[in-house]
Structure 1
Amino acid sequence: MTDRALVVVRPGALTTVQDRGRPGHAHLGVPRSGALDAPAAALMNRLVGNPPGAAVLETTLDGCDLRPRSAVTVAVGGAPCPVSVNGRPAPWGAPVHVPAGALLSVGKAVSGVRTYVAVSGGVAVDPVLGSRSTDLLSGLGPPPLTAGTVLPLGRPDGTHARVDVVPQPSPPTELVLRVTPGPRDDWFTAAALRTFTTRTYRVSASSNRIGLRTEGPALERAVDGELPSEGMVLGAIQVPPDGRPVIFLADHPTTGGYPVIAVVHPKDLPATAQATPGTPVHFTFVSGRNDRF
């Protein structure tokens, strides 16, 4: 058995393998998946000398504990958290040497939600449709990690960034999301569109990798009845019968039958990965502004 492997000692609340996902398969009903905070995952890969799209571990809220079978370089970033090796504090957001058999502990997030653990060589589980990502909706890719899981690692190229610290955005204290209206904004009243862009929503505790759910004023429909299922894109803001917007994230379904009032600008999506329950959410139209309000 190869010594290029990582043993999961404590999986935490939800730890999954993620890379850049599976774009281009929506016509087959396959979600995109991939790291929710893609810039954080890419930066950690850079710090350990991996390509930006190498597979990493994405933890949720309370981290994980890992034991490599051979010496590795790791970098932990995204949501700030304590990091230790065999009980000794180690830096967050910088390359860390972990000897063979040592215990790497990634602690509870101090702020934010998702922490990323990159390991030199990358996590080398078998790819499915070109990606190693775990997809919670379709079940493609490796299942969420459990205690005792052994993850194979690729071979590192021997290089990594030699830095003391790297700049990373802080988890948001509020989300200000730029959105393009439509394609179904005409299914809502003018009052609803005003509410959507002027009132404050908050991140719901029921949010997950499939969608960021919000709490706040309900949006009134101008069109009753059912909408035939149609294609959904990353960042689509769907409004279910309760009237509260839901932002589709990486594991979102590829089709849906509730109207989409707007779509979030791609550059604003990474911040949603780090928004804790209760975080204020503001939507602002940036193009194609509707003239009905």
Structure 2
Amino acid sequence: MTDRALVVVRAGALTTVQDRGRPGHAHLGVPRSGALDAPAAALGNRLVGNPPEAAVLETTLTGCAVRARSAVTVAVAGAPCRVTVDGRPATWGAPVLVAAGAVLDVGPAVSGVRSYVAVAGGIAVDPVLGSRSTDLLSGLGPAPLADRMVLHLGRARFAPARVDVAPQPAPPAELVLRITPGPRDDWFTPDAVRLFTSGLYRVSAASNRIGLRTEGPALQRAVTGELASEGMVLGAVQVPPDGRPVVFLADHPTTGGYPVIGVVRPSDLPSAAQAAPGIPVRFVAVRRR
């Protein structure tokens, strides 16, 4: 076992290959995709000496385990979790050397949702439309990890960072999302608009890479007719017929026919990626800039 590759031992609930995504193709019906917690993915790459565009593994809640075919340097960032190499504890949030034949096990998230496994050289799958990201909506990019899958690695170009543990923001105990109202807030009653920015919601277990679904008070519409499909953007808060807001994340559809009551500030979306089911959610209106 001398080639630069990882063999998947335990794929986990949902582990995908992600990089910075493929923005700029919405006119083709292609979402941007990419790591949901982009700062965490970027930190993992910095720790192992990768350029920021290198592809990493994004785990969901239950982690994953891989066997290294040759000695590699890895780092786990994002949701805190137990990290072991052949059963021995290793450091989360720092570069770790994994010997040839050893198994890196990224355990379930202690808090948060998504951990990021960066490997020196990056995951070397073929890019599609300039990105190696898995897109769950369109099916572009590599398939989610499965047991015994082989992941080839690129050539490591730079030395890993010299740190004991890199500081990272804690996953949210309460998710506060700043929103710019509109463009379809006038499709809702005044009471519904006030409720949207004053009521308490919780993250639904039905959330995924396409959207963060919420549980809480339903928003009543003032306009009951059909809305023609229109373009959707990252962070759009769409309200389906059940009245519960859905925050569009990286794999969101590029068009939609339900009214958008507001749009979340991009800088708040990494926290949304780490909001576990049941976490309280508050929407806070901010002025248009």
TM bin, normalised by shorter chain, reads over 0.9
Aligned to 2:277: 277
- Deviation string 1:262-291 (CA, Å, 9 cap, x unpaired) is 0000000000111011100001111149xx
When normalised by structure 1's length, the TM-score is 0.97
When normalised by structure 2's length, the TM-score is 0.99
Q: Which sections of structure 2, spanning at least 5 residues, go unmatched?
A: none
AA at the equivalent of 2:279: T
3-state SS in 2 of match to 1:100:
coil
3-state SS in 2 of match to 1:137:
coil
RMSD of Structure 2 on Structure 1 (CA): 1.1
- Looking at structure 2, the residues matched to 158 and 111 of structure 1 have their Cα atoms a distance apart, in angstroms, of 31
Aligned to 2:11: 11
Q: Residue 68 in 1 paired to residue 55 in 2?
A: no
Aligned to 1:150: 150
Identity %: 79
Shift of the alpha carbon at 1:53? 1.7
3-state SS in 1 of match to 2:214:
strand
- Looking at structure 2, the residues matched to 288 and 121 of structure 1 have their Cα atoms a distance apart, in angstroms, of 41
- 8 Å CA contact 2:2–2:70 kept in 1: the answer is no
- 8 Å CA contact 2:50–2:158 kept in 1: the answer is no
- Deviation string 1:56-110 (CA, Å, 9 cap, x unpaired) is 0000011111011111000001000000001100000000000111010000110
- Looking at structure 1, the residues matched to 158 and 69 of structure 2 have their Cα atoms a distance apart, in angstroms, of 17
Shift of the alpha carbon at 1:160? 1.3
Aligned to 1:37: 37
Q: Residue 192 in 1 paired to residue 184 in 2?
A: no
Aligned to 1:219: 219
Q: Residue 50 in 1 paired to residue 56 in 2?
A: no
Shift of the alpha carbon at 1:158? 3.7
3-state SS in 2 of match to 1:82:
strand
Segments of 4+ in structure 1 off by > 2 A?
none
Shift of the alpha carbon at 1:2? 7.1
Shift of the alpha carbon at 1:115? 0.4
- Looking at structure 1, the residues matched to 82 and 92 of structure 2 have their Cα atoms a distance apart, in angstroms, of 7
How many residue pairs are counted as aligned between the two chains? 289
- Looking at structure 2, the residues matched to 288 and 95 of structure 1 have their Cα atoms a distance apart, in angstroms, of 41
AA at the equivalent of 2:126: D
Q: Which sections of structure 1, spanning at least 5 residues, go unmatched?
A: none
